[in-house]
């Protein structure tokens, strides 16, 4: 199939390359001309504007956006609708908030343009291992584009989830679960790091990945990270989040579903960004006030 890719960042470039390997014709655009030139070297037809990208595609055009969630997605759609045609298909493969995806589906439906939300997991390893793809939208449009999802994914690694928004919704929950799993590994390995035993943490990560109940791809990645930097001295203890964990927690609040592990894992990331905790100062001050407990002064 011939399709356009917008966004050649960490995932977009590798996804383009994987599609090329599987025989698709890819026209690719990024706001950075250097990234466009790089994917041309892999066999893609480079485009240096959205207009040029659209001109390289055939009706009905299929355009996959791989750009950061939020305003950039909306701005890209607003630009595209001025230059594409009724019947064309836009696929949002980023981590957009599912309610925004439903709004965009309805906005585009009124214009006669089709929209799929495709939650995509695989990170920078997707080129080698394939991407897990969760798709929401009209089923007939999914079926029209199915060869794309099949090429991106490993065997049985893609699925039509349901109506508009469902693909991004399932991907949101996926990332929330990921937060909790990562936090559990972080706490367990920190405890071993602080123990009286001189534990080979990288060796434990490799060991647990061989038949243990907690074996996982995350454990493989932790093993790789510890091989490169045994004590992680080169990494600052600052953990960012990209939004999906927050949305998962908010969805739990809306639905009265308790999410204690995912919520606490999100709050742990917030704490990692504080050079000083005002809340901890409050605790220390209160202990001193009611019990005369010692405090540490700056």
For residue 160, list its beta bridge partners: 135
> What does the pLDDT average to over 221-237?
92
Shared-domain flag, residues 121 and 199? no
Shared-domain flag, residues 96 and 242? no
Shared-domain flag, residues 68 and 106? yes
User: In the prediction, which pLDDT does 272 show?
Assistant: 94
Shared-domain flag, residues 132 and 207? no
Phi and psi at residue 47, to the nearest 5°: -130, 140
What's the CATH code of the domain at 243?
A: 1.10.1040.10
Calculate the average pLDDT of the chain. 95
Tell me the torsion sign for CA atoms 250, 255, 256, 260.
negative
Phi and psi at residue 195, to the nearest 5°: -75, 170
Q: Greater confidence, 291 or 282?
A: 282
Question: Above 90 in pLDDT, residue 125?
Answer: no
Whether cis (ω within 30° of 0) applies to the bond prior to 26 is: no
Catalytic residues: 171, 178
Question: Above 90 in pLDDT, residue 289?
Answer: no
Q: Where are the alpha helices (DSSP H) in the chain?
A: 12-21, 33-40, 50-55, 71-80, 98-110, 126-129, 139-144, 146-152, 166-193, 201-208, 217-228, 244-255, 260-272, 278-291
User: In the prediction, which pLDDT does 48 show?
Assistant: 96
Q: Quote the longest CA-to-CA distance of the chain.
A: 76
Q: Give buried/exposed letters for 148-165 (b at 16+ CB in 10 A, else e).
A: bbebbbeeebbebbeebb
Q: Is residue 298 part of a domain?
A: no
User: In the prediction, which pLDDT does 298 show?
Assistant: 80
Task: Judge residue 261's burial from the number of C-beta atoms within 10 Å of its C-beta, 0-12 exposed, 13-18 middle, 19 or more buried.
Answer: middle
Shared-domain flag, residues 119 and 188? no
Q: Is residue 145 part of a domain?
A: yes
Q: Is residue 287 part of a domain?
A: no
pLDDT tens per residue, range 184-203 = 999 999 999 999 999 999 99
Shared-domain flag, residues 132 and 193? no
**Distance of alpha carbon 261 from the chain centroid:** 20
Q: Name the least confident of 107-111, 146-150, 249-253, 287-291.
A: 287-291
Q: Is residue 260 part of a domain?
A: yes
Question: Please, which pLDDT band fits residue 124 given cuts at 50, 70 and 90?
Answer: confident
Shared-domain flag, residues 19 and 155? yes
Last residue in a domain, options 163, 179, 212 = 163
What's the CATH code of the domain at 62?
A: 3.40.50.720
* Type and span of the H or E element at 133: strand 132-136
> What does the pLDDT average to over 24-33?
96
Instruction: Transcribe 17-56 into DSSP letters.
Output: HHHHHTT-EEEEE-SSHHHHHHHHTTT-EEESSHHHHHHT
| pLDDT > 70 in the chain, percent | 100
User: In the prediction, which pLDDT does 242 show?
Assistant: 85
Rounded Cα distance between 253 and 287, Å, is: 32
Q: Is residue 141 part of a domain?
A: yes
User: In the prediction, which pLDDT does 72 show?
Assistant: 94
User: In the prediction, which pLDDT does 231 show?
Assistant: 87
Last residue in a domain, options 143, 163, 183 = 163
What would the two tokens of residue 232 be? 């992680």
Shared-domain flag, residues 105 and 202? no
Shared-domain flag, residues 133 and 176? no
Last residue in a domain, options 134, 163, 192 = 163
> What does the pLDDT average to over 135-163?
97
> What does the pLDDT average to over 284-290?
90
Q: Is residue 295 part of a domain?
A: no
Report yes or no: 98 and 37 within 8 Å, Cβ to Cβ.
no
Shared-domain flag, residues 211 and 127? no
State which residues form the domain around 250.
171-278
What would the two tokens of residue 211 be? 């038949």
Q: Is residue 290 part of a domain?
A: no
Closest by Cα among 218, 273, 137 to 149: 137
Q: Which long-range contacts (CB under 8 A, 24 or more apart) does 182-188 make?
A: 182/218, 182/265, 183/261, 183/264, 183/265, 183/268, 184/261, 185/218, 185/219, 185/222, 186/268
Rounded Cα distance between 67 and 92, Å, is: 8
Question: How many domains does the chain contain in total?
Answer: 2
Question: Please, which pLDDT band fits residue 293 given cuts at 50, 70 and 90?
Answer: confident
Question: Please, which pLDDT band fits residue 237 given cuts at 50, 70 and 90?
Answer: very high
Q: Which long-range contacts (CB under 8 A, 24 or more apart) does 226-232 make?
A: 226/201, 226/202, 227/202, 230/201, 230/202
User: In the prediction, which pLDDT does 123 show?
Assistant: 85
Q: Is residue 132 part of a domain?
A: yes
Shared-domain flag, residues 154 and 229? no
Shared-domain flag, residues 142 and 193? no
């Amino acid at each position: 199939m011939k399709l356009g890719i917008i966004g050649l960042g960490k995932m977009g470039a590798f996804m383009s390359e994987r599609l090329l390997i599987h025989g698709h014709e890819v026209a690719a655009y990024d706001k950075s001309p250097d990234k466009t030139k790089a994917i041309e070297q892999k066999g893609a037809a480079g485009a240096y504007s959205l207009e040029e990208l659209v001109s390289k595609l055939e009706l009905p055009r299929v355009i996959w956006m791989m750009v950061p969630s939020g305003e950039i997605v909306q701005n890209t759609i607003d630009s595209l609708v001025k230059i594409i045609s009724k019947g064309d298909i836009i696929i949002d493969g980023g981590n957009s908030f599912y309610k925004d995806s439903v709004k965009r589906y309805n906005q585009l439906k009124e214009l006669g343009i089709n929209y799929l939300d495709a939650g995509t997991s695989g990170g920078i390893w997707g080129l080698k291992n394939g991407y897990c793809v969760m798709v929401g939208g009209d089923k007939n449009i999914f079926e029209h584009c199915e060869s794309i999802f099949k090429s991106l994914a490993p065997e049985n690694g893609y699925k039509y989830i349901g109506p508009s928004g469902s693909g991004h919704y399932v991907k949101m929950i996926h990332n929330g679960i990921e937060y909790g799993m990562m936090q559990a590994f972080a706490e367990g390995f920190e405890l071993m790091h602080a123990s009286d035993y001189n534990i080979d943490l990288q060796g434990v990560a490799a060991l647990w990945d061989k038949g243990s109940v907690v074996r996982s791809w995350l454990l493989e990645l932790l093993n790789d990270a510890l091989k490169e930097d045994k004590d992680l001295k080169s990494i600052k203890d600052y953990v960012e989040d990209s939004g999906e964990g927050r949305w998962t927690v908010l969805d739990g609040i809306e639905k009265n579903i308790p999410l204690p592990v995912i919520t606490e894992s999100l709050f742990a990331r917030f704490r990692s960004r504080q050079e000083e905790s005002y809340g901890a100062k409050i605790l220390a001050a209160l202990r001193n006030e009611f019990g005369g407990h010692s405090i540490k002064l700056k």
